[in-house]
Amino acid sequence: MAKETQFVEQIADIETDFPQWYTDVVLKTKLVDYGPVKGTMVIRPYGYAIWENIQKELDSRFKKDGVENAYFPLLIPMSFFTKEAEHVEGFAPEVAVVTVAGGEKLAEPLAIRPTSETIIGTMYSKWIQSYRDLPLKINQWCNVMRWEKTTRPFLRTSEFLWQEGHTVHSTSEEAEEETQKMLEVYKEFAENCLAIPVITGKKTEKEKFAGAVATYGMEAMMHDGKSLQAGTSHYLGQNFATAFDIQFLDKDGAHKTAYTTSWGVSTRLIGAIIMTHGDNRGLVLPPVVAPVQCVIVPIAARKGGVLEACAALKAELEKAGIRVVLDDSDNSPGWKFNEWEMKGVPVRIELGPRDIEAGKMLCARRDTLEKSEYPLENAVTAVSELLGTVQKDMLEAARVRRDSRIVYAEDMDGILKGVETGNFVKAGWCGCRECEDKIKETTAASARVYAEGETAEKCAVCGKKAEHVVIFARAY
Ligand code: ZN
């Protein structure tokens, strides 16, 4: 027993020291390690496998929308950034710049992409001639670099992985529709694949993407009640099309400026999974993206026939497309239970001589820790259904947790009290920057998204007429 409890104790308590819990979990489950350059991370195989599953799910959704993948260069001439005034101002403090290469000072400094609107806009200007070339929808899976002062694995690192979609349309209506469509794709994916309930909505001017007409965000509540921006979709209007000269000859013979969008999610999503579902035993992974969906732990492994039965079960599950591991190491079953629980594997099967004789297996769910017996002869059906149930229940449990922590506030005191006790706070806002800044200064909470379709009488700060209801929260 000593060995088992010792294992669990290696992770800090989730309620009393959440930041340390997070660090312990990401390192000890081997999702990630720190890179030699401050602020960089190494995504280890167990973490990268989650990212691959995220990619697979999202990529098929993008392609259904007619989006194609491509790849653009990492290095962008600095002059490209100055073409869109807001964009350069927004990104200047975070851009890493290459000034020397091949032992010589470069004639023009080159930015390491923090995002690719400028280089993609430049290429689109060349590729788009007429209305027949539209809409143009391209996505790229790549790395980006934003020089950050304080960093945490997956949540904020200098270099991270993401996808950035960039589309061009002939009308504003069509571009706005695409912006909304991708936001919906993200929401459906977050809920059905990551089991993370999200709130989507428009961002305030202060919080929008540098150079966008409108930014829509998807916000998720983490275990400590803070918000994590899990994805964004931007309607760029004609801002970038004007700056990069994306023109097309329309059906009526007139030359027109196009409308563009961009949208992205990143490896932050892995941080969101960890902080939405994790508990004191470690990770709890949603089956759709879990690298290992099911682990088989032999009981009394040395008894005749046990390992053979486990291997046969593994082969059967594998054949049905279930990602399964047989842990036949010489560690004790108790040690293995803790190890795989910490790694968040959704379903554990225990199989011993008595189970085999009775034609049964014992399945333990990671999310609820419940155990039930199933007949061995229908193992594939039983495990598949159980994985589906875990996936559905994880979303529902996260939704209940989140919804119980959304409160309303009438004034600044209410906002402060709300966020200090780990809630999302809905409050009326007049729409002026001063009030938004005052909330940030006083409560450390920022405007996450507008609560669509909701109304309030008064601004919680100045008492003037409220233009919007905004969800305020402290954020990662
Ligand atoms: Zn106000």
pLDDT in tens, 254-264: 999 999 999 99
Position 55 scores a pLDDT of 98
Distance (angstroms) between ligand 1 centre and the Cα of 446 equals 14
144's enclosing H/E stretch is strand 136-145
pLDDT tens per residue, range 354-403? 999 999 999 999 999 999 999 999 999 999 999 999 999 999 999 999 99
Position 332 scores a pLDDT of 94
423: closest CA among 222, 231, 197? 222
Position 86 scores a pLDDT of 86
pLDDT tens per residue, range 435-463? 999 999 999 999 999 999 999 999 999 99
Distance (angstroms) between ligand 1 centre and the Cα of 267 equals 36
Per-residue pLDDT band for 10 (boundaries 50, 70, 90) equals confident
Q: What is the mean pLDDT of the chain?
A: 96
Per-residue pLDDT band for 3 (boundaries 50, 70, 90) equals very low
Distance (angstroms) between ligand 1 centre and the Cα of 451 equals 16
Average pLDDT, stretch 261-287? 98
pLDDT tens per residue, range 223-245? 999 999 999 999 999 999 999 99
Average pLDDT, stretch 38-63? 97
Residue 435 structure tokens: 């009030």
Distance (angstroms) between ligand 1 centre and the Cα of 475 equals 21
Distance (angstroms) between ligand 1 centre and the Cα of 427 equals 11
Position 1 scores a pLDDT of 40
pLDDT tens per residue, range 100-117? 999 999 999 999 999 999
Distance (angstroms) between ligand 1 centre and the Cα of 439 equals 10
Amino acid identity for residue 136 in this structure: L
pLDDT tens per residue, range 174-228? 999 999 999 999 999 999 999 999 999 999 999 999 999 999 999 999 999 999 9
Indicate the SS3 state at residue 369: coil
Write the DSSP string, 286-353. -TTT-S-SEEEEESSTTSTTHHHHHHHHHHHHHHTT--EEE--SSS-HHHHHHHHHHTT-SEEEEE-H
- Confidence check: pLDDT of 8 > 60: no
Whether pTM exceeds 0.75 = yes
Position 362 scores a pLDDT of 97
pLDDT tens per residue, range 298-356? 999 888 899 999 999 999 999 999 999 999 999 999 999 999 999 999 999 999 999 99
Distance (angstroms) between ligand 1 centre and the Cα of 215 equals 21
Min mean pLDDT across 87-101, 122-136, 209-223, 251-265 is at: 87-101
| Residue positions counted in the chain | 476
261 in Cβ contact with 235 (< 8 Å): yes
Position 132 scores a pLDDT of 97
Distance (angstroms) between ligand 1 centre and the Cα of 432 equals 6
- Confidence check: pLDDT of 99 > 60: yes
Position 5 scores a pLDDT of 46
Distance (angstroms) between ligand 1 centre and the Cα of 466 equals 7
Distance (angstroms) between ligand 1 centre and the Cα of 414 equals 15
Q: How far apart are CA 327 and CA 313, in angstroms?
A: 13
Distance (angstroms) between ligand 1 centre and the Cα of 444 equals 17
Cα–Cα distances (Å) from 202 to 78, 219, 237, 468, in that order, read: 30, 11, 15, 11
- Confidence check: pLDDT of 4 > 50: no
381's enclosing H/E stretch is helix 379-403
Position 301 scores a pLDDT of 86
- Confidence check: pLDDT of 152 > 60: yes
Per-residue pLDDT band for 2 (boundaries 50, 70, 90) equals very low
Distance (angstroms) between ligand 1 centre and the Cα of 468 equals 10
Position 88 scores a pLDDT of 85
